[in-house]
Amino acid sequence: MPRTIAISGASGKTGYRVAEEVLQAGDQPRLLLQEHSLVPEQLQGCDQHRLRLGDAAALDAALQGVDALVIATGARPSIDLTTPLRVDAWGVEQQVRSCERVGVQRVVLVSSLCAGRWLHPLNLFGLILVWKRLGEQALERSRLEWTVIRPGGLSEREEQLEQEGIRYSGADQQDSASIPRRLVARCCLEALNTPASIGQIIEITSSCDLEPIAMAQALAR
């Protein structure tokens, strides 16, 4: 039976790819969006819920009955330096609390390499790495079955991904290198299908020089 997978930030460049991968897997995506979010043409027909993350009742209604949530929200570049705190810390915490209230057990969060670091150039944007770690901690302290995916620098490349291997590691093992958003989206889906990923922070970067392996195999090493 197809599962219903909610994706928040589904208008984002990683989020829409997660939704595409959900469709590809034969499951039903439910897109959680802001009022004015733009959804790519190919996802127009999907179930859509437009809301503010701070509106607990609307968030609860949007998550009602889903089998899992992939959190792909993230502060967009802005001159408002409070945005990372509001989206990457509070926004994630609001989603975690809502999952607890409505009984959505399984959550995958797209975070970032170096989450939790104070000294990092990316923190010039409102201490974003510090707030991302706070978002992760909200999940870790929850009663949910969670996985944190920490990707390296994200790229839009879609070509030759089948031969590209992923370097998987635990927390705070990698601090550079990149990965295409498509592979991040596939990892989110793979995490949902990999019980060993529950309760894990998984850092991912990719390279054509690496042999592709399953997430379960990487976690077993």
Cβ atoms of 18 and 10 within 8 Å: the answer is yes
Q: Is 15 in the site for ligand NAP (CB under 6 A)?
A: yes
Q: Is 34 in the site for ligand NAP (CB under 6 A)?
A: yes
Q: Is 76 in the site for ligand NAP (CB under 6 A)?
A: yes
Residue burial 71-84, b: 16+ Cβ < 10 Å; e: rest: bbbbbeeeeeeebb
Neighbours of 160 (CB within 10 A): 9
Q: Is 151 in the site for ligand NAP (CB under 6 A)?
A: yes
Q: Which stretch binds ligand NAP (CB under 6 A): 139-147, 151-159, 162-170, 210-218?
A: 151-159
C-alpha distances in Å from residue 85, one per residue of 78, 126, 130, 197: 12, 7, 9, 27
Task: Determine which helix (DSSP H) or strand (DSSP E) holds 94, and give its type and residue range.
Answer: helix 92-102
Q: Which residue has the tokens 């974003």?
A: 128
**Please, which of residues 40-69 interact with ligand NAP by CB under 6 A?**
53
Closest CA to 53 of 14, 92, 15: 92
Going residue by residue from 161 to 200, which x/- string records binding to ligand NAP, judged by CB under 6 A?
--------------------x-------------------
Q: Is 109 in the site for ligand NAP (CB under 6 A)?
A: no
Closest CB to ligand NAP among residues 104, 129? 129
Q: Is 74 in the site for ligand NAP (CB under 6 A)?
A: yes
The DSSP call for residue 46 is S
Q: Under the rule (CB under 6 A), what is the footprint of ligand NAP?
A: 9, 11-15, 34, 37, 53, 72-76, 87, 91, 110, 112, 151, 153-154, 181
